[in-house]
């Protein structure tokens, strides 16, 4: 009888343990976040027929694609995009309102991730002291570590410091970015560590950038097959320094000296290749996806942005860059399959913003466009200030299409700040190329629910932003005559890919409007962890099993 009771209790104990094991959360071993800098949604469709079956097409066919995903704020810049993707909220909450912005308390322009309480690690180059301290909320990467009692690792990497720092969050185990010029290596700051890990030093010792600047950038396929882009030699593209025309092939060996040596790599597809190789090294040497906890790898491809800025949306260079990136994505997915396991990782791919087509090119096709000359506009503001207030000191700063008023001068002249702002708004609306002008008081007292003013409001941070906000006509910009840029709240800047892939993800797509802030809460729900602290996005339920 005692034996029967013993074995009965033993069986019940085994059943209970198995039930507890079965009840454990079935999380992926590794989450990979990929942000492709300046990737418009239509790059997926425009070049689709030329993509391989194993890169972007695999993500679309075997994953869940949001075909109508948009950034729901402006300005649409790199730092803001990465902060928004990873916090699940907009700049009015997370506090990253630009790459650079005017600091009203310091009376000077600041850079989003500068932190002069830190020191650079891996270089003696000045200006590389970085941290995420200006980001006011947590990220999905922070919440994953917090949910596991700070177990599990977060590693973030990019060519750009702001992309690596902001996507890694406040609790990153290591955020690494690339510096060019005469160094060509990955570095970090004392916010994360006091010295580079051996694997990063070993990777830097491979000197891969040297290989890339000793070759030509030629098209991956015959250039005559690149029928989705305009002629190679045109007036809408910017050439590298030392080139007579912005045309293939680009001889990097000859160009490197006049283009800051290894900085040249950033503006070629080879910058993306370096990121993939560095990501592979991080996975192997940090043992990501191999432990008892879920790890997170945040990757950002920045070369796509540098190339878009220089050559423009419709260039052969952009087309070649995405065809090459497709092959890199395919190789990376195969690496993940082999090293992590097909059912052990979850990945999302998106972009921090899109880009507009070169205004001069659009105008050549009888499409409206134009250039807002910053110096002329500042002169116009000076005339208004003198006309109404008899002072040229009313406006303290104009940047990022925002006017910051000089509060001391307004007080000295016994004026009302809100009256001054409204007078400026009423005059600026008459300036050629300006579509809308609103004051900070309007944004505080009105709830916009659609259009560019809703996006402007989501990008307005009451503590940090300016006093008067200007929205230009579509593709009326302050930029060079060649190449593409971004920053507006229009579809060409806001419509980006959002694709989920891997463990826990359904195959399929949605055509409904998906704001970019929905990525973080969707991943949080898949992982069954808390949302980032400022999250305003919603779960994309259709994407999850």
Residue with tokens 């190679």: 232
Report the C-alpha gap between 32 and 298 in whole angstroms: 6
Q: Which of 78, 84, 89, 188 is catalytic?
A: 78
Find, among 196, 359, 373, the residue nearest to 278 by Cα: 196
**Quick one: DSSP state of residue 532?**
P
Find, among 68, 43, 69, 44, the residue nearest to 58 by Cα: 44
**CA distances in angstroms from 87 to 5, 294, 355, 532, listed in the order given:** 54, 19, 23, 6
Burial of 18 (0-12, 13-18, 19+ CB in 10 A): exposed
Task: Mark 327-343 as b/e (b = at least 16 C-beta within 10 Å).
Answer: bbbbbbbeebeebbeee
Q: With residue 256 as reference, give the H or E element that holds it.
A: none
Structure tokens at 341: 């396991």
Report the C-alpha gap between 227 and 210 in whole angstroms: 32
Find, among 212, 292, 320, 328, the residue nearest to 259 by Cα: 212
Report the C-alpha gap between 349 and 155 in whole angstroms: 16
Report the C-alpha gap between 369 and 511 in whole angstroms: 29
Q: State yes or no: cis peptide before 83, omega within 30 of 0.
A: no
Structure tokens at 130: 């970085």
Find, among 147, 189, 146, 194, the residue nearest to 171 by Cα: 146
Report the C-alpha gap between 332 and 191 in whole angstroms: 29
Report the C-alpha gap between 10 and 509 in whole angstroms: 48
87 Cβ partners below 8 Å, 6+ apart?
A: 93, 94, 135, 137, 138, 139, 140, 520, 532, 534, 535
H runs (alpha helix) in 288-404: 303-311, 316-339, 359-364, 374-389
Report the C-alpha gap between 362 and 360 in whole angstroms: 5
Q: Is 181 helix (H, G, I), strand (E, B) or coil?
A: strand
Structure tokens at 28: 């992926």
Structure tokens at 379: 């002169």
Contact between 491 and 70 under an 8 Å Cβ cutoff? The reply is yes
Is 78 considered catalytic here?
Answer: yes
Active site amino acids: 78
């Amino acid at each position: 009888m005692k034996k029967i009771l013993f074995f009965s209790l033993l069986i019940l104990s085994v059943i209970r343990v198995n039930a507890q094991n079965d009840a454990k959360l079935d999380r992926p071993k590794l989450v990979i976040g990929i942000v492709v800098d300046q990737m418009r949604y239509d790059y997926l469709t425009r070049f689709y027929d030329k993509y391989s079956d194993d890169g972007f097409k695999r993500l679309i066919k075997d994953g869940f694609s949001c075909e109508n995903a948009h950034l729901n704020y402006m300005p649409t810049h790199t730092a803001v995009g990465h902060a928004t993707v990873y916090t699940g909220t907009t700049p009015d909450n997370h506090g990253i309102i630009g790459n650079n912005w005017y600091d009203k308390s310091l009376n000077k322009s600041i850079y989003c991730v500068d932190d002069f309480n830190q020191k650079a690690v891996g270089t003696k180059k000045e200006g590389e002291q970085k941290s995420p301290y200006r980001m006011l909320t947590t990220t999905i990467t922070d919440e994953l570590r917090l949910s596991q009692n700070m177990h599990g690792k977060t590693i973030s990497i990019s060519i750009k410091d702001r992309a690596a720092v902001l996507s890694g969050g406040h609790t990153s185990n290591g955020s690494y970015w690339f510096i060019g010029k005469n160094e060509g290596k990955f570095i970090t700051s004392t916010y994360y560590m006091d010295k580079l890990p051996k694997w990063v030093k070993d990777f830097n010792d491979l000197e891969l950038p040297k290989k890339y600047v000793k070759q030509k950038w030629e098209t991956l396929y015959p250039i005559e097959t690149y029928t989705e882009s305009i002629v190679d030699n045109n007036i809408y593209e910017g050439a590298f320094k030392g080139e007579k025309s912005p045309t293939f092939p680009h001889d990097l060996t000859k160009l490197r000296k006049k283009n800051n040596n290894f900085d040249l790599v950033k503006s070629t597809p080879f910058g993306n290749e370096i990121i993939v190789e560095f990501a592979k090294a991080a996975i192997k040497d940090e043992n990501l996806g191999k432990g008892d906890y879920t790890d997170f790898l945040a990757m950002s491809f920045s070369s796509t942005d540098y190339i878009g800025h220089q050559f423009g949306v419709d260039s052969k260079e952009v087309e070649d860059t995405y065809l090459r990136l497709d092959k890199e994505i395919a190789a990376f997915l195969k690496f993940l399959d082999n090293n992590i396991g097909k059912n052990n990782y979850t990945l999302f791919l998106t972009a921090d913003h899109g880009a507009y087509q070169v205004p001069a090119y659009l105008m050549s096709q009888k499409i409206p466009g134009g250039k807002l000359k910053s110096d002329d506009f500042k002169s116009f503001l000076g005339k208004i200030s003198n006309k109404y207030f008899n002072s040229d000191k009313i406006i303290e700063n104009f940047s990022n299409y925002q006017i910051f008023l000089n509060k001391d001068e307004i007080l000295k002249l016994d004026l009302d700040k809100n009256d001054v702002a409204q007078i400026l708004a009423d005059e600026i609306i008459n300036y050629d190329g300006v579509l809308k002008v609103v004051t900070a008081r309007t944004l505080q007292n009105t709830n916009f629910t659609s259009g560019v003013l809703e996006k402007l409001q989501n990008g307005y941070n009451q503590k940090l932003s300016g006093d008067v906000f200007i929205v230009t006509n579509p593709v009326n910009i302050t930029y060079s005559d060649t190449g593409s840029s971004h920053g507006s709240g229009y579809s060409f800047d806001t419509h980006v890919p959002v694709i989920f892939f891997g463990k826990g993800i359904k195959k399929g797509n949605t055509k409904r409007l998906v704001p970019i802030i929905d990525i973080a809460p969707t991943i949080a729900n898949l992982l069954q962890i808390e949302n980032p602290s400022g999250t305003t996005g919603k779960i994309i339920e259709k994407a999850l099993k």
